[in-house]
Chain A
Amino acid sequence: MSNLLRPYDFEFFRNGVIVATIAGALCGMIGVFVVLKGMSYIGHGLSHAIFGGYAASALLGVNFILGAGTWGIASALMIGGVTRRKLIGADAAIGVITTASFALGLALFAVFGRRGRSFDSALFGSILGVGIEDVVAISLVTLAVAAIIFFGYRRLLFTTFDPEVADASGVSTARVEALLMVMLAASILATMQILGVTLIAATLVIPPTIARMLTNSFSRMLLISTVIGAVTGFVGMNLSYHLDVQSGPTIVLVGASMFAIVFVVTGARGRMRANAFDTHTV
Protein backbone atom coordinates (compact mmCIF):
# COMPACT_ATOMS: atom_id res chain seq x y z
CA MET A 1 0.00 0.00 0.00
CA SER A 2 2.75 2.40 0.97
CA ASN A 3 4.41 1.56 -2.33
CA LEU A 4 1.27 2.68 -4.15
CA LEU A 5 1.17 5.95 -2.25
CA ARG A 6 4.89 6.68 -2.45
CA PRO A 7 4.67 8.85 -5.62
CA TYR A 8 2.23 11.13 -3.81
CA ASP A 9 5.18 12.37 -1.78
CA PHE A 10 6.21 14.32 -4.87
CA GLU A 11 4.40 17.53 -5.64
CA PHE A 12 4.82 17.14 -9.41
CA PHE A 13 3.09 13.76 -9.21
CA ARG A 14 0.20 15.09 -7.13
CA ASN A 15 -0.25 17.87 -9.67
CA GLY A 16 0.07 15.35 -12.48
CA VAL A 17 -2.66 13.12 -11.05
CA ILE A 18 -5.00 16.06 -10.57
CA VAL A 19 -4.34 17.32 -14.10
CA ALA A 20 -4.65 13.85 -15.66
CA THR A 21 -7.93 13.16 -13.86
CA ILE A 22 -9.44 16.52 -14.79
CA ALA A 23 -8.04 16.27 -18.34
CA GLY A 24 -9.60 12.83 -18.73
CA ALA A 25 -12.96 14.11 -17.54
CA LEU A 26 -12.72 17.12 -19.85
CA CYS A 27 -11.80 15.05 -22.91
CA GLY A 28 -14.51 12.50 -22.05
CA MET A 29 -17.09 15.27 -21.84
CA ILE A 30 -16.20 17.17 -25.02
CA GLY A 31 -15.43 13.89 -26.78
CA VAL A 32 -19.12 12.95 -26.73
CA PHE A 33 -19.86 15.77 -29.16
CA VAL A 34 -16.72 15.08 -31.20
CA VAL A 35 -17.65 11.43 -31.69
CA LEU A 36 -21.38 11.94 -32.26
CA LYS A 37 -20.69 14.58 -34.90
CA GLY A 38 -18.33 12.17 -36.65
CA MET A 39 -15.46 14.54 -35.95
CA SER A 40 -12.96 12.12 -34.43
CA TYR A 41 -10.50 12.95 -37.17
CA ILE A 42 -10.87 16.66 -36.43
CA GLY A 43 -9.86 16.04 -32.83
CA HIS A 44 -6.78 14.21 -34.00
CA GLY A 45 -5.96 16.83 -36.61
CA LEU A 46 -6.51 19.75 -34.29
CA SER A 47 -4.07 18.43 -31.72
CA HIS A 48 -1.47 18.26 -34.49
CA ALA A 49 -2.36 21.73 -35.70
CA ILE A 50 -1.82 23.13 -32.22
CA PHE A 51 1.68 21.68 -32.29
CA GLY A 52 2.55 24.29 -34.94
CA GLY A 53 1.45 27.04 -32.57
CA TYR A 54 3.33 25.33 -29.75
CA ALA A 55 6.57 25.41 -31.76
CA ALA A 56 6.06 28.98 -32.93
CA SER A 57 5.30 30.28 -29.43
CA ALA A 58 8.33 28.44 -28.01
CA LEU A 59 10.63 29.95 -30.61
CA LEU A 60 9.21 33.45 -30.45
CA GLY A 61 9.22 33.43 -26.68
CA VAL A 62 5.48 34.10 -26.63
CA ASN A 63 3.41 32.71 -23.77
CA PHE A 64 2.59 29.08 -24.65
CA ILE A 65 -1.11 29.31 -23.79
CA LEU A 66 -1.49 32.56 -25.73
CA GLY A 67 0.50 31.47 -28.79
CA ALA A 68 -0.67 27.91 -29.16
CA GLY A 69 -4.16 28.89 -28.01
CA THR A 70 -4.58 31.53 -30.68
CA TRP A 71 -3.20 29.15 -33.27
CA GLY A 72 -5.41 26.30 -32.12
CA ILE A 73 -8.61 28.33 -32.00
CA ALA A 74 -7.89 29.79 -35.44
CA SER A 75 -7.29 26.28 -36.82
CA ALA A 76 -10.42 24.97 -35.10
CA LEU A 77 -12.62 27.72 -36.51
CA MET A 78 -11.07 27.22 -39.95
CA ILE A 79 -11.74 23.47 -39.78
CA GLY A 80 -15.26 24.07 -38.47
CA GLY A 81 -15.96 26.57 -41.26
CA VAL A 82 -14.67 24.27 -43.98
CA THR A 83 -16.65 21.34 -42.60
CA ARG A 84 -19.83 23.34 -42.22
CA ARG A 85 -19.77 24.97 -45.64
CA LYS A 86 -18.61 21.81 -47.40
CA LEU A 87 -16.55 24.03 -49.71
CA ILE A 88 -14.22 21.19 -50.57
CA GLY A 89 -13.93 17.67 -49.24
CA ALA A 90 -13.90 18.20 -45.46
CA ASP A 91 -11.46 15.39 -44.73
CA ALA A 92 -9.02 16.64 -47.35
CA ALA A 93 -9.24 20.21 -46.05
CA ILE A 94 -8.72 19.09 -42.46
CA GLY A 95 -5.79 16.96 -43.54
CA VAL A 96 -4.14 19.87 -45.32
CA ILE A 97 -4.69 22.42 -42.53
CA THR A 98 -3.63 20.22 -39.65
CA THR A 99 -0.73 18.32 -41.17
CA ALA A 100 0.67 21.52 -42.66
CA SER A 101 0.54 23.10 -39.22
CA PHE A 102 2.19 20.05 -37.63
CA ALA A 103 4.88 20.02 -40.33
CA LEU A 104 5.50 23.70 -39.75
CA GLY A 105 6.07 22.99 -36.07
CA LEU A 106 8.57 20.25 -36.89
CA ALA A 107 10.32 22.48 -39.43
CA LEU A 108 10.58 25.37 -36.96
CA PHE A 109 12.14 23.08 -34.37
CA ALA A 110 14.53 21.66 -36.99
CA VAL A 111 15.69 25.06 -38.20
CA PHE A 112 15.84 27.01 -34.96
CA GLY A 113 16.45 24.20 -32.48
CA ARG A 114 14.30 23.09 -29.58
CA ARG A 115 13.61 25.68 -26.96
CA GLY A 116 11.22 26.10 -24.08
CA ARG A 117 9.12 23.09 -23.14
CA SER A 118 10.35 19.65 -24.10
CA PHE A 119 9.75 18.54 -27.66
CA ASP A 120 9.09 14.94 -26.61
CA SER A 121 6.67 15.93 -23.89
CA ALA A 122 4.67 17.91 -26.45
CA LEU A 123 4.41 14.84 -28.63
CA PHE A 124 3.88 12.11 -26.06
CA GLY A 125 3.02 13.85 -22.80
CA SER A 126 4.91 14.15 -19.57
CA ILE A 127 4.09 14.92 -15.97
CA LEU A 128 7.52 16.30 -15.18
CA GLY A 129 6.67 19.84 -16.19
CA VAL A 130 3.25 19.93 -14.55
CA GLY A 131 2.99 22.75 -12.07
CA ILE A 132 0.26 24.39 -10.07
CA GLU A 133 -0.37 26.77 -12.99
CA ASP A 134 -1.31 23.75 -15.13
CA VAL A 135 -3.72 22.59 -12.43
CA VAL A 136 -5.33 26.03 -12.37
CA ALA A 137 -5.43 26.28 -16.19
CA ILE A 138 -7.09 22.91 -16.74
CA SER A 139 -9.51 23.45 -13.85
CA LEU A 140 -10.63 26.76 -15.35
CA VAL A 141 -11.03 25.30 -18.83
CA THR A 142 -12.97 22.32 -17.46
CA LEU A 143 -15.26 24.55 -15.39
CA ALA A 144 -15.91 26.80 -18.39
CA VAL A 145 -16.61 23.86 -20.73
CA ALA A 146 -18.84 22.15 -18.13
CA ALA A 147 -20.79 25.38 -17.59
CA ILE A 148 -21.28 25.89 -21.33
CA ILE A 149 -22.45 22.30 -21.78
CA PHE A 150 -24.73 22.52 -18.73
CA PHE A 151 -26.46 25.76 -19.68
CA GLY A 152 -26.38 25.14 -23.43
CA TYR A 153 -27.29 21.47 -23.14
CA ARG A 154 -30.45 21.50 -25.24
CA ARG A 155 -28.98 23.66 -28.01
CA LEU A 156 -25.86 21.53 -28.15
CA LEU A 157 -27.89 18.33 -28.25
CA PHE A 158 -30.29 19.67 -30.91
CA THR A 159 -27.40 20.96 -33.06
CA THR A 160 -25.46 17.72 -32.73
CA PHE A 161 -28.44 15.50 -33.51
CA ASP A 162 -30.31 17.48 -36.12
CA PRO A 163 -28.49 20.67 -37.20
CA GLU A 164 -30.83 21.55 -40.04
CA VAL A 165 -34.01 21.41 -37.98
CA ALA A 166 -32.24 23.09 -35.06
CA ASP A 167 -31.23 25.93 -37.35
CA ALA A 168 -34.77 26.27 -38.69
CA SER A 169 -36.09 26.20 -35.11
CA GLY A 170 -34.14 29.32 -34.20
CA VAL A 171 -30.94 27.79 -32.83
CA SER A 172 -27.88 29.56 -34.17
CA THR A 173 -26.15 26.36 -35.17
CA ALA A 174 -23.19 28.20 -36.75
CA ARG A 175 -22.51 29.82 -33.38
CA VAL A 176 -23.05 26.59 -31.46
CA GLU A 177 -20.67 24.69 -33.75
CA ALA A 178 -18.05 27.45 -33.53
CA LEU A 179 -18.38 27.31 -29.74
CA LEU A 180 -17.87 23.55 -29.85
CA MET A 181 -14.70 23.98 -31.90
CA VAL A 182 -13.36 26.61 -29.50
CA MET A 183 -14.12 24.32 -26.54
CA LEU A 184 -12.36 21.49 -28.34
CA ALA A 185 -9.30 23.64 -29.06
CA ALA A 186 -9.18 24.85 -25.46
CA SER A 187 -9.50 21.27 -24.17
CA ILE A 188 -6.69 20.01 -26.39
CA LEU A 189 -4.51 22.93 -25.41
CA ALA A 190 -5.09 22.36 -21.72
CA THR A 191 -4.41 18.62 -21.90
CA MET A 192 -1.51 18.68 -24.36
CA GLN A 193 1.20 18.76 -21.71
CA ILE A 194 0.02 15.63 -19.94
CA LEU A 195 -1.26 13.57 -22.88
CA GLY A 196 0.83 14.71 -25.79
CA VAL A 197 -0.22 15.76 -29.27
CA THR A 198 -0.22 12.28 -30.75
CA LEU A 199 -2.46 10.70 -28.12
CA ILE A 200 -5.06 13.33 -27.27
CA ALA A 201 -7.42 12.05 -29.97
CA ALA A 202 -7.65 8.70 -28.15
CA THR A 203 -8.86 10.35 -24.95
CA LEU A 204 -11.48 12.22 -26.96
CA VAL A 205 -12.74 9.06 -28.64
CA ILE A 206 -12.34 6.12 -26.23
CA PRO A 207 -14.47 7.29 -23.25
CA PRO A 208 -17.51 8.29 -25.37
CA THR A 209 -17.25 5.06 -27.36
CA ILE A 210 -17.28 3.04 -24.13
CA ALA A 211 -20.16 5.15 -22.80
CA ARG A 212 -22.14 4.63 -26.00
CA MET A 213 -21.85 0.87 -25.55
CA LEU A 214 -23.33 1.22 -22.08
CA THR A 215 -26.31 3.50 -22.73
CA ASN A 216 -28.86 4.69 -25.27
CA SER A 217 -29.45 8.01 -23.52
CA PHE A 218 -27.54 11.16 -24.42
CA SER A 219 -27.51 12.61 -20.91
CA ARG A 220 -26.27 9.34 -19.42
CA MET A 221 -23.64 9.01 -22.16
CA LEU A 222 -22.34 12.47 -21.28
CA LEU A 223 -22.07 11.56 -17.59
CA ILE A 224 -20.58 8.09 -18.12
CA SER A 225 -18.03 9.35 -20.65
CA THR A 226 -16.90 12.09 -18.25
CA VAL A 227 -16.50 9.60 -15.39
CA ILE A 228 -14.68 7.06 -17.58
CA GLY A 229 -12.32 9.79 -18.79
CA ALA A 230 -11.54 10.84 -15.23
CA VAL A 231 -10.99 7.24 -14.05
CA THR A 232 -8.77 6.54 -17.06
CA GLY A 233 -6.67 9.61 -16.34
CA PHE A 234 -6.33 8.77 -12.64
CA VAL A 235 -5.49 5.09 -13.11
CA GLY A 236 -3.26 5.77 -16.11
CA MET A 237 -1.29 8.39 -14.25
CA ASN A 238 -0.62 6.08 -11.29
CA LEU A 239 0.35 3.21 -13.57
CA SER A 240 2.59 5.51 -15.55
CA TYR A 241 4.72 6.11 -12.43
CA HIS A 242 4.93 2.48 -11.38
CA LEU A 243 5.60 1.15 -14.89
CA ASP A 244 7.97 4.02 -15.67
CA VAL A 245 6.20 4.70 -18.97
CA GLN A 246 5.20 8.14 -20.28
CA SER A 247 1.84 9.37 -19.01
CA GLY A 248 0.19 9.75 -22.44
CA PRO A 249 0.64 6.17 -23.66
CA THR A 250 -0.28 4.71 -20.25
CA ILE A 251 -3.52 6.69 -20.01
CA VAL A 252 -4.49 5.70 -23.54
CA LEU A 253 -3.68 2.03 -22.89
CA VAL A 254 -5.83 2.06 -19.75
CA GLY A 255 -8.67 3.50 -21.81
CA ALA A 256 -8.14 0.92 -24.54
CA SER A 257 -8.21 -1.88 -21.94
CA MET A 258 -11.49 -0.56 -20.52
CA PHE A 259 -12.86 -0.43 -24.04
CA ALA A 260 -11.87 -4.08 -24.62
CA ILE A 261 -13.52 -5.18 -21.37
CA VAL A 262 -16.77 -3.30 -22.04
CA PHE A 263 -16.72 -4.49 -25.64
CA VAL A 264 -16.63 -8.12 -24.47
CA VAL A 265 -19.01 -7.72 -21.52
CA THR A 266 -21.75 -5.81 -23.38
CA GLY A 267 -21.59 -8.25 -26.29
CA ALA A 268 -23.66 -7.78 -29.40
CA ARG A 269 -25.89 -5.20 -27.76
CA GLY A 270 -23.00 -2.88 -26.94
CA ARG A 271 -21.44 -3.36 -30.34
CA MET A 272 -24.73 -2.53 -32.05
CA ARG A 273 -25.03 0.68 -30.04
CA ALA A 274 -21.51 1.83 -30.84
CA ASN A 275 -21.65 0.60 -34.41
CA ALA A 276 -21.60 3.31 -37.08
CA PHE A 277 -21.86 6.40 -34.92
CA ASP A 278 -22.67 8.50 -37.94
CA THR A 279 -24.93 6.19 -39.91
CA HIS A 280 -28.15 7.73 -41.12
CA THR A 281 -30.08 4.56 -41.70
CA VAL A 282 -33.15 3.08 -40.12
Chain B
Amino acid sequence: MTEASSALRSTTAPLLALAGVTCAYGNTAVLTDVDLEIEEGQFTGIVGPSGSGKTTALRALLGAVQPVRGSVLRRPDVRIGYVPQVETVNWNFPVTVGECVLMARTTGRRLPWRSASERGEVRDILDRLGIADLTNRHIRELSGGQQQRVFIARAMLGRPDVLLMDEPTSGVDVSTRHEILHLLEDLHHDGLSIVLTTHDLNGLAAHLPHLVCLNNTVIGAGRPIDVLTVDVLERTYGARMEVLEHAGMPVVLDHPHHRPTASGQVVPIRRTGT
Protein backbone atom coordinates (compact mmCIF):
# COMPACT_ATOMS: atom_id res chain seq x y z
CA MET B 1 0.00 0.00 0.00
CA THR B 2 1.33 3.43 -0.87
CA GLU B 3 -0.03 6.25 1.19
CA ALA B 4 1.91 9.47 1.16
CA SER B 5 0.41 11.07 4.16
CA SER B 6 -2.38 10.25 6.51
CA ALA B 7 -3.22 11.52 9.93
CA LEU B 8 -2.67 9.56 13.07
CA ARG B 9 -5.82 9.14 15.11
CA SER B 10 -4.64 8.88 18.67
CA THR B 11 -3.66 12.01 20.60
CA THR B 12 -0.86 10.05 22.26
CA ALA B 13 0.48 9.01 18.91
CA PRO B 14 3.87 10.27 17.73
CA LEU B 15 4.06 13.66 16.03
CA LEU B 16 5.51 12.07 12.90
CA ALA B 17 6.22 8.52 11.85
CA LEU B 18 7.55 6.53 8.95
CA ALA B 19 5.86 3.13 8.81
CA GLY B 20 7.60 0.61 6.57
CA VAL B 21 8.67 3.40 4.24
CA THR B 22 10.61 2.68 1.06
CA CYS B 23 11.75 5.64 -1.04
CA ALA B 24 13.45 5.39 -4.41
CA TYR B 25 14.96 7.68 -7.01
CA GLY B 26 14.30 5.88 -10.28
CA ASN B 27 15.09 2.23 -9.69
CA THR B 28 17.46 2.90 -6.80
CA ALA B 29 15.96 2.45 -3.36
CA VAL B 30 17.37 5.06 -1.00
CA LEU B 31 15.33 3.94 1.99
CA THR B 32 14.04 0.40 2.48
CA ASP B 33 11.32 -0.52 4.92
CA VAL B 34 12.13 2.23 7.41
CA ASP B 35 10.18 2.54 10.65
CA LEU B 36 10.77 5.73 12.59
CA GLU B 37 8.70 7.52 15.19
CA ILE B 38 9.16 11.10 16.36
CA GLU B 39 7.52 11.61 19.74
CA GLU B 40 6.51 14.96 21.17
CA GLY B 41 9.47 16.59 22.92
CA GLN B 42 11.98 14.29 21.25
CA PHE B 43 15.40 15.54 20.11
CA THR B 44 16.68 13.06 17.56
CA GLY B 45 19.72 12.93 15.34
CA ILE B 46 19.89 10.79 12.22
CA VAL B 47 23.42 9.69 11.37
CA GLY B 48 24.82 7.63 8.55
CA PRO B 49 27.25 7.77 5.65
CA SER B 50 26.72 9.89 2.54
CA GLY B 51 23.95 8.41 0.42
CA SER B 52 22.50 6.48 3.37
CA GLY B 53 19.10 8.17 3.03
CA LYS B 54 19.31 10.68 5.91
CA THR B 55 18.05 13.64 3.91
CA THR B 56 15.47 11.48 2.15
CA ALA B 57 14.13 10.33 5.54
CA LEU B 58 13.87 13.95 6.63
CA ARG B 59 12.17 14.96 3.37
CA ALA B 60 9.77 12.03 3.68
CA LEU B 61 8.80 13.21 7.19
CA LEU B 62 8.36 16.70 5.71
CA GLY B 63 6.21 15.44 2.84
CA ALA B 64 8.61 16.59 0.12
CA VAL B 65 9.29 13.01 -0.96
CA GLN B 66 6.56 10.47 -1.57
CA PRO B 67 7.38 6.89 -0.57
CA VAL B 68 6.93 4.12 -3.10
CA ARG B 69 5.83 1.83 -0.26
CA GLY B 70 4.73 2.34 3.32
CA SER B 71 3.13 5.33 5.02
CA VAL B 72 4.16 8.69 6.37
CA LEU B 73 1.99 9.42 9.38
CA ARG B 74 1.41 12.82 10.93
CA ARG B 75 -0.56 13.81 13.99
CA PRO B 76 -3.53 15.95 12.93
CA ASP B 77 -2.64 19.65 12.70
CA VAL B 78 1.03 19.04 13.46
CA ARG B 79 3.09 22.04 12.35
CA ILE B 80 6.45 21.28 10.82
CA GLY B 81 9.34 23.71 10.41
CA TYR B 82 12.11 22.86 7.98
CA VAL B 83 15.64 24.24 7.98
CA PRO B 84 17.51 23.35 4.77
CA GLN B 85 21.17 22.51 4.48
CA VAL B 86 23.10 25.77 4.04
CA GLU B 87 24.84 24.37 0.96
CA THR B 88 21.49 24.33 -0.86
CA VAL B 89 20.76 28.00 -0.16
CA ASN B 90 21.38 30.54 -2.94
CA TRP B 91 23.35 33.08 -0.93
CA ASN B 92 23.47 35.48 -3.88
CA PHE B 93 19.69 35.80 -3.88
CA PRO B 94 18.72 39.40 -3.05
CA VAL B 95 16.99 38.91 0.25
CA THR B 96 17.47 40.53 3.64
CA VAL B 97 17.11 38.72 6.93
CA GLY B 98 13.67 40.27 7.51
CA GLU B 99 12.46 39.34 4.02
CA CYS B 100 13.82 35.82 4.36
CA VAL B 101 11.99 35.19 7.62
CA LEU B 102 8.71 36.73 6.50
CA MET B 103 8.48 34.91 3.16
CA ALA B 104 7.33 31.81 5.03
CA ARG B 105 4.14 33.61 6.14
CA THR B 106 2.11 32.82 3.02
CA THR B 107 -1.31 32.39 4.56
CA GLY B 108 -3.56 35.15 5.82
CA ARG B 109 -2.21 38.54 4.83
CA ARG B 110 -1.85 39.03 1.08
CA LEU B 111 0.01 42.34 1.00
CA PRO B 112 3.77 42.32 0.39
CA TRP B 113 4.78 44.42 3.37
CA ARG B 114 4.68 43.45 7.03
CA SER B 115 1.72 44.28 9.23
CA ALA B 116 2.42 45.76 12.67
CA SER B 117 1.74 42.41 14.33
CA GLU B 118 3.97 40.57 11.85
CA ARG B 119 6.73 43.09 12.47
CA GLY B 120 6.44 42.39 16.20
CA GLU B 121 6.36 38.65 15.63
CA VAL B 122 9.48 38.69 13.44
CA ARG B 123 11.25 40.98 15.91
CA ASP B 124 10.39 38.63 18.81
CA ILE B 125 11.72 35.57 16.98
CA LEU B 126 14.89 37.30 15.80
CA ASP B 127 15.37 38.68 19.31
CA ARG B 128 14.98 35.23 20.82
CA LEU B 129 17.56 33.87 18.41
CA GLY B 130 19.92 36.79 19.09
CA ILE B 131 19.89 38.31 15.59
CA ALA B 132 17.35 41.14 16.01
CA ASP B 133 19.88 43.76 14.94
CA LEU B 134 20.47 42.01 11.59
CA THR B 135 16.97 42.46 10.10
CA ASN B 136 18.10 44.62 7.20
CA ARG B 137 21.33 42.78 6.44
CA HIS B 138 21.73 40.61 3.35
CA ILE B 139 21.88 36.89 4.18
CA ARG B 140 25.37 36.52 2.71
CA GLU B 141 26.75 39.17 5.05
CA LEU B 142 26.21 36.92 8.08
CA SER B 143 28.43 34.42 9.87
CA GLY B 144 27.70 30.68 9.58
CA GLY B 145 25.90 30.61 12.93
CA GLN B 146 23.83 33.69 12.09
CA GLN B 147 22.86 32.21 8.72
CA GLN B 148 21.65 29.05 10.44
CA ARG B 149 19.68 31.18 12.89
CA VAL B 150 17.93 33.04 10.05
CA PHE B 151 16.58 29.81 8.64
CA ILE B 152 15.60 28.58 12.09
CA ALA B 153 13.78 31.90 12.53
CA ARG B 154 11.97 31.39 9.21
CA ALA B 155 10.89 27.93 10.35
CA MET B 156 9.89 29.28 13.80
CA LEU B 157 7.55 31.85 12.27
CA GLY B 158 5.16 29.01 11.52
CA ARG B 159 5.16 28.12 15.27
CA PRO B 160 6.18 24.54 14.56
CA ASP B 161 5.67 21.58 16.86
CA VAL B 162 8.66 19.90 15.30
CA LEU B 163 11.74 21.29 13.60
CA LEU B 164 13.41 19.25 10.85
CA MET B 165 17.00 20.29 10.16
CA ASP B 166 19.28 19.02 7.42
CA GLU B 167 22.94 19.04 8.45
CA PRO B 168 22.75 22.14 10.69
CA THR B 169 26.47 22.06 11.47
CA SER B 170 27.74 21.19 8.02
CA GLY B 171 30.81 23.24 7.13
CA VAL B 172 30.87 25.34 10.30
CA ASP B 173 33.76 25.78 12.72
CA VAL B 174 33.85 24.40 16.27
CA SER B 175 32.69 27.63 17.87
CA THR B 176 29.70 27.93 15.54
CA ARG B 177 28.86 24.28 16.11
CA HIS B 178 28.72 24.89 19.87
CA GLU B 179 26.62 28.00 19.27
CA ILE B 180 24.11 26.04 17.15
CA LEU B 181 24.02 23.10 19.57
CA HIS B 182 23.32 25.39 22.53
CA LEU B 183 20.61 27.18 20.59
CA LEU B 184 18.94 23.88 19.68
CA GLU B 185 19.16 22.69 23.27
CA ASP B 186 17.45 25.90 24.39
CA LEU B 187 14.68 25.47 21.82
CA HIS B 188 14.24 21.85 22.83
CA HIS B 189 14.15 22.87 26.48
CA ASP B 190 11.31 25.26 25.58
CA GLY B 191 9.29 22.32 24.27
CA LEU B 192 10.19 22.11 20.60
CA SER B 193 10.71 18.66 19.10
CA ILE B 194 13.75 18.50 16.83
CA VAL B 195 14.96 16.02 14.24
CA LEU B 196 18.25 16.68 12.52
CA THR B 197 20.64 14.87 10.25
CA THR B 198 24.36 15.06 10.80
CA HIS B 199 27.70 13.61 9.78
CA ASP B 200 29.26 14.91 12.95
CA LEU B 201 29.33 11.96 15.34
CA ASN B 202 31.42 13.48 18.13
CA GLY B 203 30.68 17.18 17.77
CA LEU B 204 26.90 16.89 17.54
CA ALA B 205 25.39 13.39 17.48
CA ALA B 206 26.99 12.21 20.73
CA HIS B 207 25.49 15.22 22.54
CA LEU B 208 21.89 14.46 21.54
CA PRO B 209 19.44 12.53 23.71
CA HIS B 210 18.41 10.14 20.93
CA LEU B 211 20.05 8.83 17.78
CA VAL B 212 19.04 6.83 14.74
CA CYS B 213 21.76 5.11 12.71
CA LEU B 214 20.67 4.80 9.11
CA ASN B 215 22.10 3.09 6.10
CA ASN B 216 19.27 2.52 3.67
CA THR B 217 17.36 1.09 6.62
CA VAL B 218 17.45 1.68 10.38
CA ILE B 219 20.50 -0.07 11.85
CA GLY B 220 20.03 1.09 15.41
CA ALA B 221 18.14 3.63 17.51
CA GLY B 222 18.44 4.81 21.10
CA ARG B 223 20.72 6.83 23.36
CA PRO B 224 24.11 7.66 21.85
CA ILE B 225 25.88 5.57 24.48
CA ASP B 226 23.78 2.57 23.44
CA VAL B 227 23.85 3.17 19.67
CA LEU B 228 27.35 4.41 18.94
CA THR B 229 28.92 1.00 19.39
CA VAL B 230 31.60 -0.67 17.30
CA ASP B 231 29.11 -3.17 15.89
CA VAL B 232 26.35 -0.68 14.98
CA LEU B 233 28.86 1.78 13.52
CA GLU B 234 30.45 -0.92 11.38
CA ARG B 235 27.05 -1.97 10.05
CA THR B 236 26.09 1.67 9.46
CA TYR B 237 29.30 2.94 7.87
CA GLY B 238 30.78 -0.29 6.56
CA ALA B 239 34.03 0.58 8.28
CA ARG B 240 35.58 -0.47 11.55
CA MET B 241 35.69 2.31 14.14
CA GLU B 242 36.78 2.45 17.73
CA VAL B 243 34.58 3.84 20.47
CA LEU B 244 35.88 5.31 23.70
CA GLU B 245 33.90 6.74 26.58
CA HIS B 246 34.58 10.20 27.91
CA ALA B 247 32.54 11.86 30.67
CA GLY B 248 29.71 9.39 30.04
CA MET B 249 29.65 10.17 26.31
CA PRO B 250 30.82 7.97 23.46
CA VAL B 251 33.77 9.21 21.43
CA VAL B 252 34.10 7.63 17.99
CA LEU B 253 37.56 7.25 16.49
CA ASP B 254 38.64 6.07 13.09
CA HIS B 255 40.32 2.69 13.23
CA PRO B 256 44.06 3.18 12.61
CA HIS B 257 44.95 2.78 8.95
CA HIS B 258 46.90 -0.37 8.02
CA ARG B 259 48.92 -1.39 5.05
CA PRO B 260 49.90 -4.87 4.02
CA THR B 261 53.57 -5.87 4.03
CA ALA B 262 55.23 -7.85 1.25
CA SER B 263 54.48 -11.01 3.20
CA GLY B 264 50.81 -10.10 3.40
CA GLN B 265 51.02 -9.20 7.09
CA VAL B 266 49.09 -6.09 8.13
CA VAL B 267 50.88 -3.50 10.24
CA PRO B 268 49.74 -0.08 11.46
CA ILE B 269 51.02 2.93 9.50
CA ARG B 270 53.44 4.95 11.63
CA ARG B 271 54.13 8.58 11.14
CA THR B 272 57.80 9.40 10.66
CA GLY B 273 59.70 12.60 11.17
CA THR B 274 61.03 14.62 14.03
Chain A residues within CB distance 8 Å of chain B: 36, 150-155, 157-158, 160-162, 164-171, 212, 215-221, 273, 275-282
A281 and B93 CA atoms in complex are apart in Å by 11
- Residues B80 and A154 in contact, CB atoms below 8 Å apart: no
- Residues B92 and A161 in contact, CB atoms below 8 Å apart: no
Beyond the given A170-B106, A171-B106, could you list 7 further A-B residue pairs with CB under 8 A, ordered by the A residue number? A165-B104, A168-B59, A217-B96, A218-B95, A279-B90, A280-B91, A282-B86
A221 to chain B, nearest CB (A): 5
- Residues A158 and B103 in contact, CB atoms below 8 Å apart: yes
- Residues A217 and B104 in contact, CB atoms below 8 Å apart: no
A212 and B63 CA atoms in complex are apart in Å by 34
Q: A36-B93, A221-B94, A278-B90 are in contact. Are A169 and B158 (CB under 8 A)?
A: yes
Q: A157-B99, A164-B64, A279-B90 are in contact. Are A169 and B84 (CB under 8 A)?
A: no
Residues of B61-115 whose CB lies within 8 A of A: 62-64, 80, 82, 84, 86-96, 99-100, 102-107, 110-113
24 contacts between A and B (CB under 8 A): A150-B111, A150-B112, A154-B102, A158-B103, A158-B106, A160-B93, A161-B90, A161-B93, A161-B100, A162-B84, A165-B82, A166-B106, A167-B64, A169-B106, A170-B107, A215-B94, A217-B95, A218-B93, A218-B95, A219-B113, A279-B90, A280-B89, A282-B87, A282-B144
Q: A216-B138, A273-B94 are in contact. Are A168 and B104 (CB under 8 A)?
A: no
- Residues B104 and A219 in contact, CB atoms below 8 Å apart: no
- Residues A157 and B103 in contact, CB atoms below 8 Å apart: yes
Which residues does chain A contribute within 8 Å of B62, judged by CB atoms?
Answer: 168
Which residues does chain B contribute within 8 Å of A36, judged by CB atoms?
Answer: 93-94
Which residues does chain A contribute within 8 Å of B222, judged by CB atoms?
Answer: none
A113 and B13 CA atoms in complex are apart in Å by 72
Which residues does chain B contribute within 8 Å of A219, judged by CB atoms?
Answer: 99, 112-113
A184 to chain B, nearest CB (A): 19
- Whether B171 sits at the interface, judged by CB under 8 Å, is yes
- Residues B104 and A169 in contact, CB atoms below 8 Å apart: yes
Q: Is the interface of A mostly helix, strand, loop or mixed?
A: helix
Nearest A residue to B113 via CB reads: A219
- Residues B138 and A280 in contact, CB atoms below 8 Å apart: no
Which residues does chain B contribute within 8 Å of A154, judged by CB atoms?
Answer: 102-103, 105-106, 112
Residues of B108-152 whose CB lies within 8 A of A: 110-113, 136, 138, 140-141, 144, 147
A217 and B98 CA atoms in complex are apart in Å by 10
Nearest A residue to B154 via CB reads: A165
- Residues A168 and B112 in contact, CB atoms below 8 Å apart: no
Nearest B residue to A208 via CB reads: B94
Write out, one digit per residue, whether chain B residues 187-213 have a CB within 8 A of any chain A CB (1) or not (0). 000000000000000000000000000
Nearest A residue to B88 via CB reads: A280
- Residues B112 and A162 in contact, CB atoms below 8 Å apart: no
A10 to chain B, nearest CB (A): 39
Nearest A residue to B83 via CB reads: A165
A156 and B72 CA atoms in complex are apart in Å by 28
Which residues does chain A contribute within 8 Å of B96, judged by CB atoms?
Answer: 216-218
Nearest B residue to A155 via CB reads: B106
Which residues does chain B contribute within 8 Å of A279, judged by CB atoms?
Answer: 90-92
Residues of B136-182 whose CB lies within 8 A of A: 136, 138, 140-141, 144, 147, 158, 171
A164 to chain B, nearest CB (A): 6
- Residues B90 and A168 in contact, CB atoms below 8 Å apart: no
Which residues does chain A contribute within 8 Å of B91, judged by CB atoms?
Answer: 279-282
Nearest A residue to B102 via CB reads: A154
A212 and B95 CA atoms in complex are apart in Å by 11
B254 to chain A, nearest CB (A): 27
Q: A169-B104, A170-B106, A216-B96 are in contact. Are A280 and B80 (CB under 8 A)?
A: no
A267 and B84 CA atoms in complex are apart in Å by 32
A171 to chain B, nearest CB (A): 5
